[in-house]
Each structure stands twice: as C-alpha cells, then as structure tokens.
C-alpha cells in the first residue's frame, strides 16, 4: 500500500498531468501577467513544502523567485535544487514577511509546521498573494475559521494541500456511494496504521544548531528550549505545534468520509486511546486512538496506530463506506466494492479493484494554478473544505483530551455547554505575534 513516504517519493518524479475538474469563473482578483507565467514563492521547505514546490515546477509557466526557511541548511539545499532544475537561483529569506514584500510574487506555498499556517496565510492574503497551504489548514479550530474568512475578505484563491480531492478515483468512488447502490450507509470506517511512523526516543535539550532561527521557528508557539524531537518532522507529535496522526493523515482520510457522505460538521465526538505502546517516547499526541463521530443518520469511526502496518481489509490506510447492500473500500491506490450476499445472491454488483492515478498532488497544484488564472475561488480543496475537516480532526483530539463526549454547535462555532472544550478551540499566541480576528 502507498504510504505518505511512498507517495512523496513517487510524486517527486511523476510527470505533470491534466486536471479533469471544470473551471468556473469567479470574482475578479489578481490578473495574470501578460506572459502567462505564475510567479511563486515558497515558505517552509523541509518536507511537504518542498514536495509541493516540486509539483509546481512540474507545471508549465511557473517560476519560483523566492524561498523562505528558518533553517539555513535547508534553505541552501533547496535553493541549489531549484537552481539545478530551473537554471535560476531564487532570492532567499529567513523571515516570511520579507518574502511577502516582493510585488512580483503572485502566489505562495506554505509548508511550515501547523502552528504557523494561519498567521502566514492571513498575512499572504493581506499582501495580495494567492495561497497554497499545507494541511491541516490550521492548528486550531478557531484559526481555520479565520483563514476561511481571510480568503473571502481579501478575495484570494486558496487551495489546501488535501490533494486526494483532486485524484479522480476518489470521485469515482464517491459517485458509487452516492448512487444508492450500497443501500443505507450507516457506518464509515476510516483508519491509518503506519508501521514506518515510529515515535522518537528521548533526547536532552541542547543549544540551537548554527543557522537555525529558532525564535522564528517557534513564532506564536510557547517558548521552549530547543530539542531535536520537537523540530522538523517530529513537530507533529507535540500539542504546541500540531495534533499528531489525527490531524496529519486524519485530515486526508476523514476528508474522504466527508466528501463521500456530502457532510460537513459532526454533531458530536467521543474518543479513547493515548500513549499505549511507546511509553518511553516524549511525544504528547496519542500513538493509538479511536474516535466515534456522530452525524445525522450515520457514524464515522476513526482508528489509528503508530508502528503497526496492518489495518482493516489488509490495508495500512483506507476509508470503508459500509451499506446494507455492500461495502466500498477506498485508499490512495484505488477502490472496490464487496457485496453483501443473501439467499438470492449478491445485493450489489461486485466491483473489482479500480486503480487510482497516483497523481493527486500534481492534479491539486494544476487545479490551483488554473483557478488563479481564471480568478476562480472554488478550488478543489477550498478553505471551506479545509476548515470543515480540520474542525472534525481537532474535535477528535479535544474529545480525548477532555475525556468526554463533546457536542458541536455550528451556529456559535463552539461546543455546547463545555468550557473546557471551548478553551481548546482558540490558541494563545506568544508575543509579539497576535491572533487575527475577523
């Protein structure tokens, strides 16, 4: 099965492909230049940020003129790779605000740790830039809603890095689910069992490495001594910066449950789990977690485990739409249908494995670029889509941290009669950074 690591490796060498999504003209925004070239900058380049940049550079008429990262070693490495590919060396920055001052940059990629997504995205929109921002859209529910409002206020095209929304085989699977052939779908199972995701062991705090602007890396997050376990890839296992596997893979896969069921916000969530396997690891987020989300007429069940590779239906990740007549199982590699059987035979046609394109990232970037060119705000993974699944994933974490069932109120964008849960909706930014309210 394809994992995050396998996907990044594959997508880095894949050829650009043509998006199948139709473009709908939207509000007038930043007009494309006469030469038709999209000029971009990239902020946060160590992981998916650079994978995103590579996908942009695989598209025609894209020029990267600026890179920003707080780690000089990463910045220099990526600058060399971009120059080797394009023949031009981009301007380098360690402060994203300086990059945003460049008037010629039309769009930016945000590939930083989660705790920076909201502040940078909002500042980019204010500066007149279109934005491709990695998932989860924000570290907290409140920030996700503010980001959606910022995109609307500043009339910018925004695409969230939920690239599965652009991979056609998922839409084919959703069409089958929505055809009614499965019968009543009352349970959707979503899981992620990743054997390669092993938590780090404990290491002592140390001096900040040369070339790292750690103060800028922390940004709005609480002041902490430098520790390699909290830096680069492993930031995702600490509450200050992210939400663990729940908001990492969870955002990708729960998004498919929402799309397939044409749903937005759960009515409630309850969760169990915790650090059950890797007790010596300093990580804070659960290595094992189950969440039950309640919707009108059906439930979604999330299940994840770090360090284990065998999940439901023999897959390390997937989404199963379980209906009265049969079950549709989908993952990044494809989808199939397994019928229920009565004494009269199968209740739905069996559908053998239909493979996906493996080009979701390229297609997502292609869609974003076309939307910028046509001033279309309705991207495949819009801020509205991004904040819905970010809210859902964060609900799972808030449920496990409060230890009780929590109930969402869409009208107030808060939890019903639960002050403890509501305290986790909105972050406290470290000075001098300030949370933007709309």
CA 396 to chain centre: 16
Q: How much is the pLDDT for 33?
A: 56
Mean pLDDT of the chain: 93
- Average pLDDT for 230-250: 97
- CA gap 393, 302 in Å, rounded: 9
Q: Taking 80 as the threshold, does the pLDDT of residue 364 lie above it?
A: yes
Residues 144, 398, 5, 330, CA torsion sign: negative
- Average pLDDT for 212-230: 98
Residue with tokens 């059950």: 276
Domains (range + CATH), the chain: 4-165+361-386 (3.40.50.720), 172-355+389-413 (3.30.360.10)
Nearest by Cα to 227 from 281, 274, 278, 191: 281
Which burial class, exposed, middle or buried, applies to 336 when counting CB atoms under 10 A from its CB (0-12, 13-18, 19+)?
A: middle
283-324 per-position pLDDT tens digit: 999 999 999 999 999 999 999 999 999 999 999 999 999 999
Q: Taking 60 as the threshold, does the pLDDT of residue 250 lie above it?
A: yes
Q: How much is the pLDDT for 9?
A: 39
Residues of the chain with pLDDT > 70, as a percent, come to 92
The answer to whether residues 63 and 412 touch, using CB atoms and an 8 Å cutoff, is no
- CA gap 396, 394 in Å, rounded: 5
Q: What pTM, to 2 d.p., does this model score?
A: 0.91
Q: If pLDDT is split at 50, 70 and 90, which confidence band does 276 have?
A: very high
Q: Taking 60 as the threshold, does the pLDDT of residue 13 lie above it?
A: no
5: number of Cβ within 10 Å: 11
104-125 per-position pLDDT tens digit: 999 999 999 999 999 999 999 9
Q: Taking 80 as the threshold, does the pLDDT of residue 199 lie above it?
A: yes
Instruction: State whether residue 436 is helix, strand or coil.
Output: coil
122-154 per-position pLDDT tens digit: 999 999 999 999 999 999 999 999 999 999 999
Q: Taking 70 as the threshold, does the pLDDT of residue 30 lie above it?
A: no
- Average pLDDT for 197-219: 97
């Amino acid at each position: 099965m394809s994992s995050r690591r396998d996907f990044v490796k594959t997508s880095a060498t894949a050829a650009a492909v043509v998006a199948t999504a139709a473009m709908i003209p939207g509000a007038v925004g930043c007009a494309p230049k006469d030469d038709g070239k999209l000029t971009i900058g990239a902020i946060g380049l160590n992981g998916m940020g650079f994978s995103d940049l590579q996908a942009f550079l695989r598209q025609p008429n894209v020029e990267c003129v600026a890179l920003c990262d707080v780690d000089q070693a990463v910045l220099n490495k990526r600058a060399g790779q971009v120059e080797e590919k394009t023949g031009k060396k981009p301007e380098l920055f360690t402060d994203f605000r300086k990059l945003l001052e460049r008037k010629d940059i039309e769009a930016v990629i945000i590939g930083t740790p989660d705790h920076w997504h909201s502040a940078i995205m909002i500042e980019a929109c204010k500066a007149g830039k279109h934005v491709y921002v990695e998932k989860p859209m924000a570290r907290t529910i409140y920030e996700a809603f503010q980001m959606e409002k910022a995109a609307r206020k500043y009339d910018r095209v925004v695409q969230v890095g939920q690239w599965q929304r652009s991979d056609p085989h998922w839409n084919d699977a959703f069409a089958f689910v929505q055809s009614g052939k499965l019968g009543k779908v009352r349970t959707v199972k979503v899981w992620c069992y990743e054997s390669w995701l092993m938590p780090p062991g404990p290491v002592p705090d140390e001096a900040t490495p040369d070339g790292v602007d750690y103060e800028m890396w922390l940004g709005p997050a609480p002041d902490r001594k430098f520790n390699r376990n909290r830096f680069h890839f492993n930031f995702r296992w600490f509450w200050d910066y992210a939400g663990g596997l729940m908001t990492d893979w969870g955002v990708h896969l729960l998004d498919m449950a929402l799309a397939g069921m044409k749903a937005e916000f759960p009515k409630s969530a309850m969760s169990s789990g915790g650090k059950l396997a890797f007790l010596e690891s300093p990580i804070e987020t659960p290595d094992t977690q189950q969440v039950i989300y309640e919707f009108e007429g059906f439930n979604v069940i999330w299940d994840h485990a770090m360090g284990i590779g065998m999940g439901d239906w023999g897959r390390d990740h997937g989404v199963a739409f379980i209906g009265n007549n049969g079950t549709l199982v989908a993952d990044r590699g494809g989808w199939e249908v397994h019928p229920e059987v009565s004494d009269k035979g199968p209740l739905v046609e069996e559908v053998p494995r239909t493979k996906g394109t493996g080009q979701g990232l390229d297609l997502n970037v292609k869609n974003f670029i076309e939307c910028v060119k046509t001033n279309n705000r309705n991207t495949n993974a819009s801020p509205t889509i991004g904040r819905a699944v970010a809210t859902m994933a964060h609900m799972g974490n808030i449920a496990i941290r409060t230890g009780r069932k929590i109930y969402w109120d869409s009208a107030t964008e808060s939890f019903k009669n639960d002050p403890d849960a509501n305290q986790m909706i909105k972050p406290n930014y470290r000075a001098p950074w300030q949370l933007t309210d709309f």
